[in-house]
Amino acid sequence: MDQLPATFVQDFHDEASVRKMKYVSFGNTGLMVSKISLGTGTLSKFYGDLGEKEGVKAVHLALKKGINYIDTAPYYGQGRSEEILGQALKDVPRRAYYVATKVGRYELEYDKMFDFSAQKTRASVEKSLALLGVECIDVVQIHDVEFAADLNVIWNETLPTLEALKAEGKLKYIGVSAYPMDPLKKVISGAPGRFDTVLCYCRNTLIDDSLKEYLPFFKANNLAVICASGHGMGLLTNAGPQPWHPAQDQTKQVCREAAEYCKQHGVELGKLAMYHFIQLDGPSTFLSGMQSEELVDINLAAFFNGLTPKEREVLDYLNDRVFPKVNAKNWEGIEVERYWSAMKSTSN
């Protein structure tokens, strides 16, 4: 690239890496964001034990290498992700990054997990500002709207509260996220022109390409598309998913077979998944969790260097012989059904 991005800071960034990074228009916001962005759901117990120092180092390396968009949420470690990220950002010039967080999903207990009310939304943004140590959050997203009992609460409480906070200068842009695609389309259609971003996760992977179908709709609504979790929340890595992963057993078994094949050939499945993930045209940025410097290097290598001939050969084999065995490409409905079943039990 001939021109350095607005987020470039002399003596902080690795200029050579920044020049290799691609920066893409972020919907209608006027921002230019790095094609690879940093997800911090991994800065929590959701993905195993994590040392704070290790997490801080990963954030610093990612930013210095040219990543300028970071995503977090109160739900990730019940504030722990925002806390660790805030510690990391203390040593980073504010102009060097854009930070996004979420509202709506909070606790692990089912009866306290979701709250889309106006009061909770305002309190959540205020808490996020304090934990992140910033005066203004670049993007605040409504988290996992498929769990709302009625989308009217999103349109009548959550969204107007975020718009008020935006008018107060506490946030700049408003987004929405979900796993199933139809609720995203519905919530956006019900509030035309009021969302700036949309986050879709696990919908552009080696086993599920359903995001493609919805890109024209998102583009027609002038939304910046954040394409997240090309590793399928750990499913498509040599280490495999965490015990809580909601995918069907057969899907997990096929992905384990893929991981074993990769291990036998000295290849990291996560790198293959990352490479595949970032090939799609349309999204502004590809969001990936990276809780260690090693994972930052692996994911950026997939972008900066592509795949080796051996890695391409392994990927071709998996695409031809292994991944077609998957019966269920997604786990849509499983978590929502589990949630409402639990809520029904607690109310009885």
Task: Give the distance between the most distant pair of CA atoms in the chain.
Answer: 63
- Catalytic hit among 47, 76, 97, 173: 76
Please identify which residue in the block is written with the tokens 């991944």. 323
Pairing state of beta strands 32-34 and 285-289? unpaired
Rounded Cα distance between 101 and 138, Å, is: 8
Asked if 46 and 203 touch (Cβ cutoff 8 Å), the reply is no
Q: How many helices (H) and strands (E) does the chain have?
A: 14, 10
User: Cα 249–50–335 angle (5° rounding)?
Assistant: 30
State whether the Cα torsion 140-13-234-255 is positive or negative: positive
Q: Is 276 exposed, middle or buried (0-12, 13-18, 19+ CB in 10 A)?
A: buried
Residue found by looking up tokens 């987004």 in the block: 175
CB environment 142-161: b (16+ within 10 A), e (fewer): bbbbbbbeebebbeebbbeb
Distances (CA, A) of 345 to 109, 111, 185, 334: 13, 10, 30, 17
Q: Is position 275 annotated as part of the catalytic site?
A: no
Amino acid (one-letter) located at 289: G
| Side-chain half-sphere CA neighbours of 79 within 13 A | 9
- Catalytic site positions: 76
